[in-house]
Amino acid sequence: MDARSIIMAVRDGAGLAPEAAAWFARGLADGTVSDAQAGAFAMAVLCRGIGAAGRVALTEAMRDSGQVLAWDLPGPVLDKHSTGGIGDSVSLLLAPALAACGVYVPMISGRGLGHTGGTLDKMEVIPGYKALPGTAVLQKVVAEVGCAIVGATNEIAPADRRLYGIRDISGTVESIDLITASILSKKLAAGLGALVLDVKVGSGAFMVEMEDAKALAESLVRTANDAGCHASALITDMSQSLGHSAGNALEVLEVMETLTGSSVNEALWDVTAALGGELLCLAGKARSLDEGAEQIDAAIETGRAAEKFGQMVAALGGPFDFVERFPDRLPAAPVIVPVAAPRRGHVAQVDARALGEAVVRLGGGRLVATDRINPSVGLSGLAAIGEEVDPGEVLCLVHAPDAARAERAAAMVQAAYVISEEPPEEPPLIHGRIGPEDLP
């Protein structure tokens, strides 16, 4: 078996057999497969597809190209994955809430790239927090606390790490087959018993159209279940920022205010409860989705989730008093500028991608993977679709490193908002659910 014959088979529509996927994944991990061959393979998959069986084969092969975690715990091991959006800090609420419900969450997360934020970047605004502690520490913290939000080590799905970089420079990022295998190979390497997928749709998502979001959700759910992991998906709205804030420290502040009850973001809470309810039901810890969501609600309302968050932060090197003193522990931008509504009316539409790009231009995201992030910058108090505004009323606050960048970001934000005379129909938070029983 060799790379050329595998590429030709995919190119000619013959799909990807398990033995071919295993050979190619090993070659990606150990360098036997060249960059040119990896690019050709990715383009062949994009153009011809590999079908449901091929997706499972590639997912399992990339999962098995590195370390696969094994657990000996008294409860189920669960996780969630989001396809990315603006102001989406659900992971920071969900992991400790699930841990407070008696399950275990090794949440292996990623960094932001492009207009979307990254969970690891958010966690690293906490002083001392070790987001890349290694698998031994990950397993210890999960066993002792119940959850850990960390990044993948070099030992987790190395074949995917290589192919991911190739896809970015070869024009093959959009392949649903490759997206599916990339997401699931890393998640399944964590040794999960159940997984919920949060597939975003709208102007701030990678999947702007519902048809594309549904196709990805179905692919993820089918592939995960065929690979032996119970999974379902929610298609959630990203036609505007999910949170009132976008930007790493600002989003952590919003999460902590919600966890401690000082200022609750209902949209973040509701999506968190829905995703958590899915997981608890998949794992047999709740008899229904509603009962699972109620367990998540109770974990947040009683402060047990906040307590778990504080334990996780301390166990991974952060301050022991973070939950009590989080406003003092988070960095703040030196310049704060309000963005005014240009006229009276209702917020009818938001270009959420443009909001994400504004955060990036402030220094809060990456244009390339090597860019350093300014954790303090971003947007807060974002007006939501349906809100009525008067001329000069604040649409949001820009948190910037200097006045020049604040002015440029303010112009981007103002251009991202459409104000109309008539109140619009507000989008639902959750557009649909896809479980194994819903697949065609």
Same domain, yes or no: 250 and 342: no
**Is the pLDDT assigned to residue 100 strictly greater than 90?**
yes
**Is the pLDDT assigned to residue 113 strictly greater than 70?**
no
313 falls within a domain: yes
72 falls within a domain: no
> Tokens representing 65?
């190209």
13: CATH: 1.20.970.10
- CA distance linking residue 185 with residue 66, whole number of Å: 10
Task: List the domain range (segments joined by +) for residue 390.
Answer: 335-420
> Tokens representing 407?
């002015």
Same domain, yes or no: 19 and 93: no
Residue 234 dihedral angles phi and psi, to the nearest 5°: -110, 135
Question: What mean pLDDT is predicted for residues 43-62?
Answer: 96
Same domain, yes or no: 44 and 86: no
Based on the residue annotation, tell me whether 121 is a catalytic residue of this protein.
no
- Banded model confidence at residue 369, pLDDT cuts 50, 70, 90: low
357 falls within a domain: yes
Least-confidence region, from 83-87, 137-141, 247-251: 83-87
> Tokens representing 397?
């606050």
Q: How does pLDDT run across 158-201, given as a tens digit for each residue?
A: 999 899 888 877 888 889 999 999 999 999 999 999 999 999 99
Q: Which helix (H) or strand (E) holds 260?
A: helix 248-260
142: CATH: 3.40.1030.10
**Mean pLDDT, the chain, as a whole number?**
94
The predicted pLDDT at position 403 comes to 96
Same domain, yes or no: 206 and 147: yes
Which one is catalytic: 63, 187, 222, 353? 187
HSE-CB of 427 using CA atoms within 13 angstroms: 24
73 falls within a domain: no
Same domain, yes or no: 321 and 340: no
Residue 420 dihedral angles phi and psi, to the nearest 5°: -125, 165
Which one is catalytic: 55, 63, 80, 115? 80
Q: How does pLDDT run across 280-299, given as a tens digit for each residue?
A: 999 999 999 999 999 999 99
138 Cβ contact list (under 8 Å, min separation 6): 69, 106, 108, 148, 150
> Tokens representing 158?
């190395």
348: CATH: 3.90.1170.30
Q: Which amino acid is at 263?
A: S
Which one is catalytic: 79, 88, 237, 297? 79
Strand partners of residue 81: 197
113 falls within a domain: yes
Nearest to 245 by CA among 359, 332, 388: 359
Neighbours of 306 (CB within 10 A): 25
Based on the residue annotation, tell me whether 182 is a catalytic residue of this protein.
yes
The predicted pLDDT at position 167 comes to 85
44 falls within a domain: yes
Based on the residue annotation, tell me whether 80 is a catalytic residue of this protein.
yes
The predicted pLDDT at position 341 comes to 93
Same domain, yes or no: 127 and 259: yes
Which one is catalytic: 162, 186, 230, 244? 186
Q: Are the beta carbons of 355 and 379 closer than 8 angstroms?
A: yes
Same domain, yes or no: 312 and 342: no
Nearest to 330 by CA among 379, 377, 260: 377
Using alpha carbons only, how large is the chain's radius of gyration in Å? Answer: 21
Same domain, yes or no: 371 and 228: no
Same domain, yes or no: 282 and 387: no
Which one is catalytic: 119, 172, 203, 258? 119
Same domain, yes or no: 102 and 120: yes
The predicted pLDDT at position 334 comes to 97
Based on the residue annotation, tell me whether 241 is a catalytic residue of this protein.
no
**Is the pLDDT assigned to residue 440 strictly greater than 80?**
no
Based on the residue annotation, tell me whether 186 is a catalytic residue of this protein.
yes
Based on the residue annotation, tell me whether 167 is a catalytic residue of this protein.
yes
User: Helix 18-30 vs helix 3-11: angle between axes, to the nearest 10 degrees?
Assistant: 130
**Is the pLDDT assigned to residue 250 strictly greater than 80?**
yes
> Tokens representing 387?
């809100």
Same domain, yes or no: 36 and 127: no
Say how many domains are in the chain: 3
The predicted pLDDT at position 368 comes to 66
Based on the residue annotation, tell me whether 399 is a catalytic residue of this protein.
no
Which one is catalytic: 82, 91, 109, 172? 82
| Dihedral over alpha carbons 126, 374, 377, 252 (to 10 degrees) | -20
Q: Which helix (H) or strand (E) holds 24?
A: helix 18-30
69 falls within a domain: no
- CA distance linking residue 255 with residue 259, whole number of Å: 6
**Beta strand spans in 213-353 (E):** 230-237, 335-340, 345-350
Based on the residue annotation, tell me whether 79 is a catalytic residue of this protein.
yes
132 falls within a domain: yes
Based on the residue annotation, tell me whether 82 is a catalytic residue of this protein.
yes
Q: How does pLDDT run across 400-435, given as a tens digit for each residue?
A: 999 999 999 999 999 999 999 999 999 999 999 999
Same domain, yes or no: 139 and 12: no
**Is the pLDDT assigned to residue 152 strictly greater than 90?**
no
